[in-house]
Chains A and B, each alone.
Chain A
Amino acid sequence: MKRSWKTWARAVAAGSVGLALLAACSGNSGGGSDSGDGQVTLKINFWGDFGLDELKSRYEADNPNVKISLNTGEYNAQHEDLQKKLIAGSGAPDIAAIDEGFVVQFRGQADKFVNLLDKGAGQYESKYLPWKWKQTLTPDGKAQIGLGTDVGGLAMCYRTDLFKAAGLPTDRDQVSALWPTWDQFIAVGQQYKAKSGKKFIDSATNIFNPVLGQQPVGFFDESETLKMDGGPKAAFDVAAKMIGADLSANLTAFSPEWNSGFVKGNFAVLACPAWMQGHIKNTAPTTQGKWDVAAIPGGGGNWGGSFLTIPKQGKNVDEAYKFLEWLVQPEQQIEIFKKVGNLPSQPALYQDPAIKDFTNPFFSNAPVGQIFSKTAENLTPQYLGKKNGPTRVAVENVINRLATGNLKGKPDQAWTEAIKEAEKAAKS
């Protein structure tokens, strides 16, 4: 008995000596990210390509005390990550991009962001499309959490070489005339498939999203009630018809296989918000000159568009605002447009010759400046609810299951499932 007690006592003694040793080793780590000499690092989180690579170098050259670190990531993950860091109270980037699909969720937490009106951003209100300005403004109008970067707009990108091979017209006006409505668009697709034996569109979800963007009401109305029978149903039906007619290459959007589909010409058309141009160019540089841009069936509409915000927890809020302010100036916005196609959300720029007369050689010299600014000006924006992001993912999943998974060939059952999944996502 006594002996075993002794053994334990020894073990404890030995353990505590070890602890002391460890503690001695671990002194004085940590420390701040500011290295005291006035050097500031601004971290910016976004997804895809915001066209910032060259602007970053230029800003750094003009402001030697500022380093900018660009962190691109996956679309949903970046928003979820920001939400996490806002609640945790630390770890958020100095500047965080937010897509319009998540804007209501973050606008509801305006106290966690720097109110840009306090920084003097009010002077830019008149420069922005009114609805774009309002999207990040709290309902009481007292706090502005972000400044708009781009608007999506909507057009239809198509492959002239593949159209030609299938005996379809290649001129952008003639192509636009082929499909005033989505039903006519499907008919063209069937024609294309019959001639070429290839699939017409990349993915049914990339039809669902633009059609939904054309509806007056999206997933949620302004009282945050899920309205599946309105816009979502209309968009789902078009997507289901596409799948039913076997026109989709069924490549999950933004997956590696989808990207290789661009290079291989697995599909001939792609719904194109302005920001999609940069993605096509980055993904399939070899298809230069083989694309063109026509009008989208069903008239204008919007898909996507972003804002840059400054989370309050950052240490370099002032430097972050300086950079943000610099970034939304016409000169920089035009440069981004030319680089990756993101259309600025300041209508005065649409009259600027740099945008108005801009033709994109990648898209057969299509006057993309005019095409996209026209759709952006005529836009009536949709209200996107707090749970818009997860609800969209849930319905996209069901569409993918209808295309290739366990709901194949069962559009009615798929719609029931879509309602169920959307309700679940809206509640989560």
Chain B
Amino acid sequence: MSTTRAVPAASRPGRPADATAPVRRPPDRAGTWRSRLYRFDVRYVPYLLIAPFFLLFAVFGLFPIVFNGVVALRNWRLDDPTLTGWAGFANFARLLDDGDFWNALGNTFGIFVLSTVPQLLLALIVASLLNRKLRAQTWFRVGVLLPYITPVTASTLIFTVVFARDTGVANWVLSLLGVGETAPIDWRSTKWASWIAIATMVNWKWIGYNALLYLAAMQSIPRDVYEAAAVDGAGPWRQLWRITVPMIRPVVIFTVVLSTIGGLQLFTEPMLFDANPALAQGGDDGQWQTIAQLIYKVGWRDLNLGYAAAMSWALFLIILIVAAVNALITNRLGGGKR
């Protein structure tokens, strides 16, 4: 701090070189004013400049989280305004034996595993392909990002047509392969079919985004490491796992944490996959109802805001735990010491 302050000051005309000793400054009014302004500039303006972020974070991030915690401990029903006051941990206790919550939790994790694991693996492979010398390299790199910039509602609506039972493209392709020729797969009727359909949408959207993150990291790996490995007889697959992945470990951990958060908060895709999205029920039997959807349903259809807030806090804690565990595992897999 003090050095950065000293350097520009020293170069200003008419000022003693030793600007860090303000005591010896001549008692010149204009000078004092100037130097105050100057001190304000270097000392406080940086805080001013970063303040908007923290203000916005406090208003739209911190406050809702804390307020949500308060609401979770209260009775707050929109359809019964007389029922109010502190509920203690009753909302959380109710979670423990709420079949809908556990069903939604199971669905969320099922879809999460089906989407995150293939997503990151495929992104890694796509990135290592893009990292080679290709014709029309930029075209390919921009191309993989296209799904990411497609609005999620638009792509989901297209996918619901693709996964239509009688007329969908997915069933047509499968029938060419000899699957479900007589009885086409009803993508909305069973847990597995609906999970796969939704996971496909998620994978499609995020593979390119993660691939570009990996690609950026891969380009900072020195070429000679690969050359040395190739001389030692390591094939491309071995190079990917033994050199590339360990060397881009921080980025891998970053993507794992991000896709954990995203995967556990999955909302738009399951919501719009429903035959009647307004009901937010995730299938006739909640086959693919995720926690985020259940929170929406409990809060805005059943109008029980207290209980919905408790659910969101539970989801928050679950995400924290899972993200931490995932980061730890990834760190180990990538050869990290911690």
Report A's interface with B, CB cutoff 8 A.
10-11, 13-15, 17-19, 22, 73-74, 76-77, 80, 83-84, 87-88, 250, 252, 254-257, 260, 264, 266, 393, 397-398, 400-401, 404-406, 428
Contact = CB atoms under 8 A, between A and B. Distances in A.
16 contacts: A10-B43, A13-B44, A15-B55, A17-B44, A18-B51, A80-B300, A80-B301, A88-B78, A250-B165, A256-B275, A257-B167, A264-B167, A401-B189, A405-B189, A405-B190, A406-B285
- Main SS of the interface on chain B? loop
Contact of B55 (A13, A18, A257, A393): A18
A254 B278 CA distance: 12
Interface string B31-56: 00000000000011001100110110
A87 B51 contact: no
A428 B190 contact: no
B186 interface: yes
Contacts of A401: 189, 284-285
B204 to A, nearest CB: 20
B128 interface: no
Given A405-B189, A405-B190, A15 B285 contact: no
B52 A18 contact: yes
A83 B79 contact: yes
Interface in B277-308: 277-279, 281, 283-285, 287, 300-303
A250 B188 CA distance: 12
B164 interface: yes
B276 interface: yes
B79 A87 contact: yes
A74 B278 contact: yes
Contacts of A405: 189-190, 283-285, 287
Contact of B278 (A19, A77, A250): A77
B18 interface: no
A17 B45 CA distance: 10
A113 B166 CA distance: 45
A65 B302 CA distance: 39
B276 A74 contact: yes
A87 B167 CA distance: 43
Contacts, number: 86
Contacts of A266: 166
A257 B79 contact: no
B230 to A, nearest CB: 52
B278 A76 contact: yes
B284 A87 contact: no
Interface residues of B, number: 35
B47 A397 contact: no
Contacts of B160: 256
A398 B281 CA distance: 13
Contacts of B301: 80
A11 B303 contact: no
B251 to A, nearest CB: 31
B81 interface: yes
Contacts of A84: 78, 300, 303
A-B interface, 4 closest residue pairs, ranked by CB to CB distance from nearest: A14-B47, A18-B51, A255-B275, A77-B278
B81 A87 contact: yes
A391 to B, nearest CB: 14
Contact of A255 (B55, B276, B281): B276
Contact of B190 (A18, A83, A406): A406
Contacts of B164: 256-257
Nearest to A398: B284
Contact of B302 (A10, A11, A428): A428
B160 to A, nearest CB: 7
A17 B276 contact: no
A77 B44 CA distance: 51
